[in-house]
Amino acid sequence: MSLAPFPLLVALAATPAAQDPPSQSPDPVSLVAKAERLVAGKEEVEDAALLLWQALEILAAKPQNPMRDATAMTARYLLNEHDPLEKERRRVYASIAKQQVELAQSYRSRKWFEAAATRLDVAMRFDVDATTKERALLEAARPKPKAEAAPEKKEEQPKAGALLQRANTVRVMGAWREADGRISSPAHSGNEPLFEWETNAVHENHEIVVEWKPADPKQSHNLAIACGFDTDIDDRYQVQCYLHTESKQYALVILRVENGEYRKLVEVWQKATVPADGVHRIAIQIHDKQLLARLDDNPAVEALAAEPVRGRVGLLVGMNRTASCPIEFRAFRIDPLPADAPTDDELRERAAAEVQQSVTGFVDEAKALIAKKQPEQAAELLREALRELRKLPAGVLRTNLAATIEQMLTQTDSLAPKRKKTAQAIAAELVGLADKYAAAGKARLAFVLAEDAANFDPDGQAPRLAAAREAVQKWNSDQARARASELAPPADDGTVLREWFAEGKLLHGGSSAWQIEGPCARVPALAPDGCTGWMPKAGTPALTKARVFAHLPPHAAAGFCFDVAGPHDHSVAILDRQGPGLALSAYRFAGQKWMQLGRKKIPLDAWRLDGWFQIDIEATATGLTVRSAGAELVLDRKMLGNANGRFGFFATNADKTAATVELRAFQVPP
């Protein structure tokens, strides 16, 4: 087996927040139930409070119903019983909500209805009940929807590239509209043939760039860029982008289309931010067999083709049998590949230039809205400019730019000074509460409050947030020392492990070697972006259950391979250490590609990450269950290979340097 496809799996594990498919928030009922179990042991009160605060915040955004109300009541009861500072917290939260509701009332009286609604959304996080009356008054005051006015006549736009001209196409399907050097696809029902725009332009090692804008960024929409095809569009590579409206995330998918069959190479999910001008950009860099696709400023997505990608390019709308609102394509071109990777200084300069350009765009658009007597929308853009400006390093330039924008904001929104003063007062209240939790030895709860304070007053509370973060780091260090026994390896002499694996063999020829000695199965030098599997000795019986303990360095993962038919056909279930916690993941390798079967993130305190984690796997006729660190994945047999009972060890390393991964205490439970 070639290991080349595996970095795709490593990339998935390395960036779980960006890669995970849309998922719901944690179940508040489960959070409250877990907290109730924790408070039985007094030393776990802070852990319980963290769960209960999270549950209450999730419940605040849910509509009222008996289950929601009972869960919230239970959470508040547990906090009242076990957190001496809960009454003070509720008082501070009620004060915050009251101040935000008062701002909402002021905006409503000015008929700034969207600004009022945003203040109520903030208030609801802290006290749902305090917003009920004002929410009703706001909805009653909103003007009734009117019939849509005729769209404004657009200003003449410069001509776009040649690829958006019908004269340079070989096939066009669908009622595409051509105007001002741009093309627009009409609404697609999802139940009709694809809209296709096939060009006669040919790429080799180039960058393909498409700039596009949906008619409504909140409505479902999708598009694809086809590349590497000749006369048959059913034999091509394709980069798809589509919006998941519920989670407000974009999927970016790279596929191989062969004889009309779609084979997904990689899929990632990225936050659906809307650029200042509403225009998105997809860039695809092709380096022989490597495809790198990037949506806006998100991380690039990588896939490897079986052969160098060469051929024509085209656009498609109406993918995956899902509806799409109209999309306007403003640019479509084939560019030379960018120069070599920029230096760190160049990246910093580029990032600063992009921030300044973005801020300038917000301010210019705000000025245009002010001229059109639309101050509410202009004020929101100016606030967005201030938020963007904070990406620049602190200094005279940032200070002067902020002062200029704040002056414009005050001239546009007479409530801006009051709003800023209120935010600072709220931040001070939250910091005062954070100080009380810190004094009570609850550094993590204090950090949550300091983060909230910094959200209201980023510049003013930056030092306090930094101090809170340092306190949590110290708490983790203290915990690691005080609870070192909990981080120790499991008590096991390795007899069963050696019996099964001492005479084992590599699953993938040429991968990093394993050492089986004493109580440990170790990969002493797991290569960067590498993976390795180790199978038991010949003649071992088939398994339905197995257990092992894993010790993971940062950016590494380990666990089981299972249903192993060979190096080209197997599945893996691994626990990986990425970011602030762990994740339990499962993948299947078949047909020279990896497919993610499931993934669950596991939040953990930093001090626990250096410990040993038990991983249990159990196969049944209907599927397979994997459990570790309080998480569980249940995989349907239809997603897997044949249940042959062949299990082995598996490890990966997404770091830039070699890493040591260890497994111990292998067991075969009865």
For 41, the token pair is 């042991």
pLDDT digits (tens, 9 = 90+) for 29-55: 989 999 999 888 666 899 999 999 999
- Picking from 613, 611, 617, 614, the residue whose alpha carbon sits closest to that of residue 648 is 617
Instruction: Tell me the C-alpha distance between 186 and 173, whole Å.
Output: 12
d(CA 499, CA 171): 64
- Count, residues in the chain: 670
Cα gap 72→78, rounded to integer Å: 10
Exposed e or buried b per residue across 269-288, where buried means at least 16 C-beta atoms within 10 angstroms of its C-beta: bbebeeebeeebebbbbbee
Between CA 200 and CA 250 the distance in angstroms is: 29
What are the C-alpha distances in Å from 167 to residues 324, 325, 338? Answer: 26, 26, 28
DSSP state of 566: E
3-class DSSP state of 400: helix
Distance between CA 517 and CA 523 in Å, rounded?
A: 11
Task: State residue 18's pLDDT score.
Answer: 33
Beta-carbon contacts of residue 494 (< 8 Å; ≥ 6 apart): 518, 519, 520, 664, 665
pLDDT of residue 188: 94
Q: Which amino acid is at 17?
A: A
- Cβ atoms 229, 245 nearer than 8 A: no
Phi-psi sector, 644: left (phi>0), alpha (psi -120 to 50), beta: alpha
β partners of residue 623 = 636
Closest CA to 572 of 613, 531, 529, 523: 531
Q: Residue 270 pairs with which residues in a beta bridge?
A: 250
Residue with tokens 């990450």: 609
CB of 211 closer than 8 Å to CB of 335: no
Residue linked to tokens 């997904």: 264
Distance of alpha carbon 19 from alpha carbon 421, whole angstroms: 39
Q: Which residues contact 94 (CB under 8 A, 6 or more apart)?
A: 126, 127, 130
d(CA 359, CA 364): 9
Which residues of the chain are modeled with pLDDT < 50? 1-23, 154-160
Rounded to a whole number of angstroms, the CA Rg of the chain reads: 28
Query: Are 159 and 187 within 8 A, CB to CB?
Result: no
- CA 309 to each of CA 285, 287, 315, 647: distance values in angstroms, whole numbers, following the listed order: 11, 8, 17, 37
Nearest Cα neighbor of 431 from 473, 405, 408, 462 is 462
Question: Rounded to whole angstroms, how far apart are CA atoms 160 and 588?
Answer: 44
**Phi-psi category of residue 21: left, alpha or beta, with phi > 0 → left and psi -120 to 50 → alpha:** beta
CA-nearest of 563, 548, 538, 550 to 496 is: 548
Q: What is the pTM of this model?
A: 0.68
Handedness of CA 60, 62, 65, 71 (dihedral sign): negative
Q: How far apart are CA 668 and CA 18, in angstroms?
A: 36
pLDDT at 16: 32
Closest by alpha carbon to 572, among 622, 525, 521, 635?
Answer: 635
Are the C-beta atoms of residues 653 and 556 closer than 8 Å to each other? yes
618: nearest Cα among 654, 576, 668, 666 = 668
The pLDDT assigned to 233 comes to 59
**3-state DSSP of 191-208:** CCCCEEEEEEEEECCEEE
Task: Quickly count: other Cβ atoms within 10 Å of residue 606's Cβ.
Answer: 15
Q: How far is CA 493 from CA 142, 473, 517, in A?
A: 72, 34, 10
Q: For strand 261-271 and strand 280-287, is the pairing parallel, antiparallel, or unpaired? A: unpaired
Tracing tokens 């990588």 back to the chain, one arrives at: 302
The pLDDT assigned to 363 comes to 94
β partners of residue 530 = 653
